[in-house]
Structure 1
Amino acid sequence: MAQSANERRLRTGASIMLCAQELTDARGLDGFTMDDLSAACGVSRRTLFNYFPSKVDAILGIWPTLDDDDVDEFRSGGPDGDLLADLRTLIAPLLDDPTLERTMIARHRRILLANERLMTAVHLRYQALSADIVEHIVEREGAAFGARRARIAVNVLAAVFDSSIDEFLEDSRERRLLHHFDEALATARSLFGT
């Protein structure tokens, strides 16, 4: 079966990201050039820049996006009518990617913690995604719910995600990230009595 252009693009983008992260892990962010990255990935400089405009973008890779159909369902009050459960359903596809391997996530975390520019770039991307989710919550729940409450809900999910990453990396049974997110979310719900 022929691979679609989109599948090839995603595969090539992931390959470039992997090379960029490996180089960053071995040499540091300033220890290689885009030409070095191009050579390590086996792609032309032009191809590299068609995928990523900068080294930081190559290291962070293609940022995940929410599915439009899932967003529409969420904004209309679904799928279950419970805000936290529906937020979980909305973001679950971002967490249930079978390509999320422990070694990759551990490396990603290690290089982020070692470089402030990368951490800042991730934070900016997170803020943009968070702002979108806050907007979706306010649209769903109504203006009376308020952006403040929506931001708090998103920040709670971010804390749950961070905790689930720790557990995912330490899990000797090698369960998927979404499993750990679900467990952490259940714990958060029990703490807040919801």
Structure 2
Amino acid sequence: MSQPCISRREVKRHQTALRLQHCAAELTLEHGFDGWTIDELAAAADVSRRTVFNYFDGKAEVILGPEPEVDDAQVAEFVAGGPTGRLFDDLLVLAHEATREKADSDQHIAAVRQAVMSDPRLLQLVHERFEMAATLLGDCVRQREGDDFPKEKVRLLLRLLITCFDDALERVAEDGSTPFAQHFDATVADARTCLA
């Protein structure tokens, strides 16, 4: 099957968004999250302030990207017990879907991780996003497993998932030639070996 044709406009839009995100990560590493303005970002990326807001809702979204989304059909399949029938493996499928669109920007992901780890305000914003995502995933797990499924197990599953993400991000920083998804799969495989 052939790939759909992508217009030059879409390619340019994608490149501009990546340039804005890269510049925002660099500004954050140099000055901290609160140490730069949207005007400074626009100047660094050689675009207008208006262009920045045509692409992103604000500073946090420029750095972190839009909140990850998972297709409703995949969520429904997860809640129904699929796609593999194994809870953690099925959470991994959702995780892959949530990060799929970032596959061509692994170096940006590593730069964002570095920026987040160096700036308390940005770390707080990531924590808030994680709490929201964890609540939604926890609700999906309880819908799937039943209300009597222990909350401690839900929390542990989500922490394992986040630990695998964090380790995969470190691997991307060390080896940017391998895609994030492959690092993530390798991290999960290593965790399984350690726990076997």
TM range (shorter): 0.7 to 0.9
Name the CA distance, whole Å, in 2 between partners of 1:169 and 1:137.
Answer: 31
Deviates more, 1:53-62 or 1:156-165: 53-62
CA shift, 1:123, in A, is: 1.0
Q: Which one of the candidate residues 119, 126, 148 is aligned to 1:122?
A: 126
2:49 corresponding residue in structure 1: 45
What pairs with 1:174-193 in structure 2 (closer than 5 Å)?
174-193=177-196
Name the CA distance, whole Å, in 1 between partners of 2:12 and 2:189.
Answer: 37
Local SS of the residue matching 1:49:
helix
CA shift, 1:120, in A, is: 0.6
Contact 2:113–2:169 (CA<8 Å) still a contact in 1? no
Confirm whether residue 157 of structure 1 aligns to residue 161 of structure 2.
yes
Deviates more, 1:11-20 or 1:117-126: 11-20
CA shift, 1:11, in A, is: 5.2
Confirm whether residue 89 of structure 1 aligns to residue 122 of structure 2.
no
1:60 corresponding residue in structure 2: 64
Confirm whether residue 73 of structure 1 aligns to residue 81 of structure 2.
no
Higher relative contact order (CA 8 A, sep 6+): 2
In the alignment, residue 43 of structure 1 is paired with which amino acid? Answer: V
CA shift, 1:8, in A, is: 6.9
Contact 1:161–1:181 (CA<8 Å) still a contact in 2? yes
Deviates more, 1:27-36 or 1:115-124: 27-36
CA shift, 1:85, in A, is: 1.2
Name the CA distance, whole Å, in 2 between partners of 1:147 and 1:7.
Answer: 44
Q: Which one of the candidate residues 82, 101, 110 is aligned to 2:106?
A: 101
Deviates more, 1:154-163 or 1:2-11: 2-11
1:29 corresponding residue in structure 2: 33
Name the CA distance, whole Å, in 2 between partners of 1:149 and 1:47.
Answer: 44
CA shift, 1:9, in A, is: 6.1
CA shift, 1:100, in A, is: 2.7
1:144 corresponding residue in structure 2: 148
Structure 1, unpaired ranges of 5+? none
- Give aligned pairs, total: 191
**TM-score between both structures, scaled by the size of structure 1:** 0.82
Name the CA distance, whole Å, in 2 between partners of 1:189 and 1:161.
Answer: 14
Deviates more, 1:29-38 or 1:9-18: 9-18
CA shift, 1:105, in A, is: 3.0
Name the CA distance, whole Å, in 2 between partners of 1:5 and 1:69.
Answer: 30
Deviates more, 1:108-117 or 1:16-25: 16-25
Name the CA distance, whole Å, in 2 between partners of 1:112 and 1:175.
Answer: 22
Name the CA distance, whole Å, in 2 between partners of 1:124 and 1:92.
Answer: 21
Q: 1:91 to 1:106 in 2, by over 3 A?
A: closer
Name the CA distance, whole Å, in 1 between partners of 2:24 and 2:73.
Answer: 32
Percent of aligned positions that are identical: 35
Name the CA distance, whole Å, in 2 between partners of 1:87 and 1:2.
Answer: 31
CA shift, 1:171, in A, is: 3.2
Structure 2, unpaired ranges of 5+? none
CA shift, 1:152, in A, is: 1.3
